[in-house]
Amino acid sequence: MSTGFNTRAIHAGQEPDPATGAVVVPVHLTSTYKQDGVGGLRGGYEYSRSGNPTRTALQEALAALEEGTTGLAFASGLAAEDTLLRTVCAPGDHVVLPGDAYGGTFRLVSRAHSRWGLEHTPVDLNDLDALRVAIRPTTRVIWCETPTNPLLNIADIAALAEVAHEAGALLVVDNTFASPYLQRPLTLGADVVVHSTTKYLGGHSDVVGGGLVTADAGLGEQLAWSQNAMGAVAGPMDAWLVLRGIKTLGVRMDRHGANAARIAEFLLGHPAVGAVLYPGLPDHPGHDIAAKQMSGFGGMLSFRLAGGEEAALQVCERARLFTLAESLGGVESLIEHPGRMTHASAAGSPLEVPADLVRLSVGIEDVEDLLADLEQALA
């Protein structure tokens, strides 16, 4: 039976426990499993790096939400990315990265994987001609993020899938910002979806985790092999927290998006604000593509201060309800200065962000309170 997104979020992989009837999947805090005679495994479980029932539940939920066939849960988003890239690439291969990739992804490829012989080129993914020029015979992966962090740029997933496949490369989409509730890249032609489940999937700023989902059975098997062989698995407690968060993803994303839209409108009309970067705004350069491939515009928003870096730092420090902190995607609103915080390591690189930029992760508090806080912070 094919069911709706919210039904899958609550039920996929989460049947009541057969032994007790427990409605909530138990946290299986065990490293090993009793065998009924040598090799007589119950349910296929032998050792918790290889498999753990709480992680299995999360993995089935991730696959169901992204409309894939294999879901895999990792210790962090970067652990998922590392396992993926070292599975589908070999030394000497080449990866195309978005010109404004998540800083951690850029560091992983440009500093950690480069020592292993992986090559990379950052490209503006909105420029398909530049992308075609960057592709080499050794290009194995085109890496896409949409919307991007922290500039909220939008890339056309279906168009990129076509270019990647013509070149014999995989299209990987980091779907962390949108979440599967708003955007399902596998249905648009992507080969693998990556998540930092730390963000919207977990949703409560209480866990670090990552995920991979694919609809390609062969690739799924390879990635599952690597998950066990490389060992960067999600622990059972972390898997449980993400699973708990996923149940309310739909209602949270609706509120995140509604609050962000109101705040975008407010900031647009404020004299201290030079520009508002939110794909829900009709004059955002990626608005039409976002409207086509997303069912909402999400809760992330950035804006530039007319008064420059000093004004941006002041807003961050004056905000009270918006907590000054890195990360995103939790129920509480966060504010940060990417140039000095999340993206400080990009200074002097192609990923450097404007110094007058402030990023908001808009939470699900009452929007009037959020607006009042920004009003006083901007005054």
Ligand X SMILES: *Cc1c(COP(=O)(O)O)cnc(C)c1O
End-to-end CA distance of the chain: 54
The reply to whether 149 sits near ligand X by the rule CB under 6 A is yes
Catalytic residue among 93, 156, 174, 238: 174
Closest to ligand X by CB, 211 vs 274, is 211
Concerning whether 359 is annotated as a catalytic residue, the answer is no
- Candidate list 87, 198, 214, 302; residue touching ligand X; CB under 6 A: 198
* Gyration radius (Cα) of the chain, Å: 21
The reply to whether 205 sits near ligand X by the rule CB under 6 A is no
- Scanning residues 77 to 116, which ones bind ligand X (CB under 6 A)? 77-78, 102, 104-105
- Candidate list 210, 250, 339, 363; residue touching ligand X; CB under 6 A: 210
The reply to whether 143 sits near ligand X by the rule CB under 6 A is no
Concerning whether 49 is annotated as a catalytic residue, the answer is yes
Q: How far is the CB of 102 from ligand X (least distance, A)?
A: 4
Q: Residue 85: name the closest of 103, 106, 56 by CA.
A: 106
Q: Say whether 277 sits in a helix, a strand or coil.
A: strand
The reply to whether 185 sits near ligand X by the rule CB under 6 A is no
Task: Quote the tokens at residue 346.
Answer: 């990009």
In whole angstroms, what is the distance from residue 44 CA to residue 314 CA? Answer: 56
The reply to whether 338 sits near ligand X by the rule CB under 6 A is no
CB 276 within 8 A of CB 264: yes
CB 304 within 8 A of CB 356: yes
CB 264 within 8 A of CB 372: no
Q: Residue 110: name the closest of 102, 98, 119 by CA.
A: 119
Catalytic residue among 49, 107, 247, 318: 49
Binding part of the chain for ligand X, among 75-83, 91-99, 217-225, 251-259 by CB under 6 A, reads 75-83
Residues forming the site for ligand X (CB under 6 A): 76-78, 102, 104-105, 145, 149, 174, 176-177, 196, 198-199, 208, 210
